[in-house]
């Protein structure tokens, strides 16, 4: 089997720099309204960083913990055509909606508990309001064995269903949509590959196929305007750009002594700044929040995101 070192041997190397630190396990980066957004997972918050480097809490779900028997961990998020945000609450197996009136203004948009055997995960919101939610399919945090599970589709009325036409996936993780909305990509983490699916006008998915085989587990990902896929491969020491067929064109080293790259997103005014979430402790929620060693890194790349999502 090809090693990561072999896979990136001919790739263009790009340096990254840390721009902020002091977070638990950062994930699900987004660019919206001139701000960088991300989930600071084990503090139950979504945070923003502005151009001056100021960090603010934009969404605060800590109050839900008082009434919950499961951890409150916010995962993937995005914005509906109405401008309202939706966000996954991983262990509650809920999609919550945030109207922006205050950081704590959260209510249930969709209940996925009947469709999700394990924690739900990332999401992407299409321009027409369809929401695509990935799920781990098993309780990875308590040592369960990987098990396939489907992508969940939430229609613009808030009604959820499973994308049965493409079948169950082995830990679908990061997820993204092309600029024209015709294709959905996802990182099938425990199969070490990136898949692409066709998306119809009715929101349904079909014709899944392999876009790239990965030399290491793929996690959070994003697309660029030329059909490239940037993906973080936690534990490999790299965030890389694939083109169809599996060639790695670009590689960004992340020193493992600083943490592992968990996800990436093209942002900035021209969407050519690759933001990378770099985590330190993913399994011990309390330790991760208490020690707060994780950071956000950036690198400048040649091809911007265009209007791809997220």
CA Rg value for the chain: 18
Beta bridge partners of 172: 188
Residue 31 has pLDDT above 70, yes or no: yes
Q: What range defines the domain where residue 63 resides?
A: 4-300
What's the CA gap between 241 and 264, in Å, rounded?
11
- Pairwise pLDDT comparison (67 vs 206), residue with the higher score: 206
Domain assignment present for 310: no
Cα gap 175→221, rounded to integer Å: 7
Q: How far is CA 241 from CA 179, 189, 264, in A?
A: 17, 16, 11
Determine the pLDDT at residue 1: 62
What are the C-alpha distances in Å from 296 to residues 45, 55, 251, 278, 303? 15, 11, 17, 6, 20
Asked if the structure places residue 305 within a domain, the reply is no
Task: Name the pLDDT band for 42 (thresholds 50, 70, 90).
Answer: very high
Which tokens go with 64?
């839900």
**pLDDT value at position 180?**
97
Q: Does the residue 147 lie in any domain?
A: yes
CATH classification at residue 233: 2.120.10.30
Residue with tokens 């999609």: 95
What is the percent of the chain with per-residue pLDDT over 70, rounded to a whole number?
Answer: 100
Q: Among the options 40, 60, 122, 219, which is catalytic?
A: 219
Q: Distance between CA atoms of 43 and 281, rounded to whole angstroms?
A: 13
**Is 173 labelled a binding residue?**
yes
CB under 8 Å to 253, separation ≥6 — which residues?
A: 13, 15, 16, 237, 238
Compute the average pLDDT of residues 255-267: 97
- The answer to whether the CB of 56 falls within 8 A of the CB of 20 is no
The reply, when asked if residue 219 is annotated as ligand binding, is yes
What is the pLDDT averaged over residues 174-191? 97
Q: How confident is the model at residue 139 (pLDDT cuts 50, 70, 90)?
A: confident
Residue 142 is predicted with a pLDDT of 74
Quick count: other Cβ atoms within 10 Å of Cβ 41? 28
Mean pLDDT of 20-40: 97
pTM of the shown model:
0.96
pLDDT band, very low/low/confident/very high, at 144 (cuts 50, 70, 90): confident
Strands 26-32 and 273-279, by their bridges, are unpaired
Structural domains of the chain, count: 1
What percent of the chain is modeled with pLDDT above 90?
A: 90
Domain for residue 87, yes or no? yes
Range 142-151 average pLDDT: 83
Lowest pLDDT segment from 79-83, 123-127, 147-151: 147-151
User: Which pLDDT value is given to residue 47?
Assistant: 98
Q: Is 307 inside any structural domain?
A: no
Mean pLDDT of 256-281: 96
Three-state secondary structure along the chain? CCCHHHHCCCCEECCCEEEEEEECCEEEEEEECCEEEEEEHHHCEEEEECCCCCEEEEEECHHHHHHCCCCCCEEEEEECCCCCEEEEECCCCEEEEECCCCCCCEEEEEECCCCCCCCEEEEEECCCCCEEEEECCCCHHHCCCCCCECCEEECCCCCEEECHHHCCECCEEEEEECCCCCEEEEEEHHHCEEEEEEECCCCCEEEEEEEEECCCCCCCEEECCCCCEEEEECCCCEEEEECCCCCEEEEEECCCCCCEEEEEEEECCCCCEEEEEEECCCCCHHHHHHHCCEEEEEEECCCCCCCCEC
Mean pLDDT of the residues in the chain = 95
Is the pLDDT at 91 greater than 80? The verdict is yes
Looking at residues 167-193, what average pLDDT do you find?
Answer: 96
Q: Is residue 306 part of a domain?
A: no
Q: For residue 164, indicate whether it is catalytic.
A: no
Reading the block at residue 172, the tokens are 């679908």
Residues near 65 by beta carbon (within 8 Å), at least 6 away in sequence: 44, 71, 72
Q: What is the mean pLDDT of residues 259-266?
A: 97
| Residue 309, domain member (yes or no) | no
Q: Does residue 136 lie in a domain region?
A: yes
Q: Is the pLDDT of residue 192 over 80?
A: yes
């Amino acid at each position: 089997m090809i090693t990561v070192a072999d896979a990136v041997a001919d790739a263009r190397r790009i340096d990254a720099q840390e721009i902020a630190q002091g977070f638990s396990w950062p994930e699900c980066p987004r660019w919206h309204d001139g701000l960088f957004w991300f989930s600071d997972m084990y503090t139950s918050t979504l945070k923003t960083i502005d151009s001056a480097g100021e960090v603010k809490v934009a969404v605060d779900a800590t109050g839900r913990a008082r009434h919950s028997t499961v951890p409150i961990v916010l995962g993937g998020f995005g914005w509906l055509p109405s401008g309202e945000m939706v966000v996954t609450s991983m262990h509650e197996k809920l999609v919550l909606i945030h109207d922006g009136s205050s950081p704590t203004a959260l209510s249930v948009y969709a209940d996925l508990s009947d469709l999700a055997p394990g924690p739900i995960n990332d999401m992407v919101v299409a321009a027409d309001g369809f929401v695509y939610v990935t799920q781990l399919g098993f309780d990875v945090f308590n040592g369960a064995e990987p098990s396939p599970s489907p992508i969940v589709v939430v229609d613009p009325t808030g009604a959820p269903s499973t994308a049965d036409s493409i079948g169950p996936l082995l830990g679908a993780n990061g997820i993204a949509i092309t600029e024209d909305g015709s294709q959905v990509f996802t990182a099938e983490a425990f199969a070490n590959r990136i898949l692409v699916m066709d998306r119809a006008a009715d929101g349904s998915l079909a014709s899944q196929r392999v876009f790239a085989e990965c030399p290491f587990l793929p996690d959070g990902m994003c697309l660029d305007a030329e059909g490239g896929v940037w993906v973080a491969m936690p534990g490999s020491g790299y965030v890389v750009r694939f083109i169809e067929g599996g060639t790695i064109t670009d590689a960004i080293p992340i020193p493992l002594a600083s943490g592992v790259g968990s996800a990436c997103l093209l942002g900035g005014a021209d969407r050519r700044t690759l933001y990378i979430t770099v985590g330190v402790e993913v399994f011990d929620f309390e330790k991760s929040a208490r020690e707060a060693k994780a950071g956000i890194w950036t690198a400048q790349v040649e091809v911007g995101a265009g209007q791809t999502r997220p």
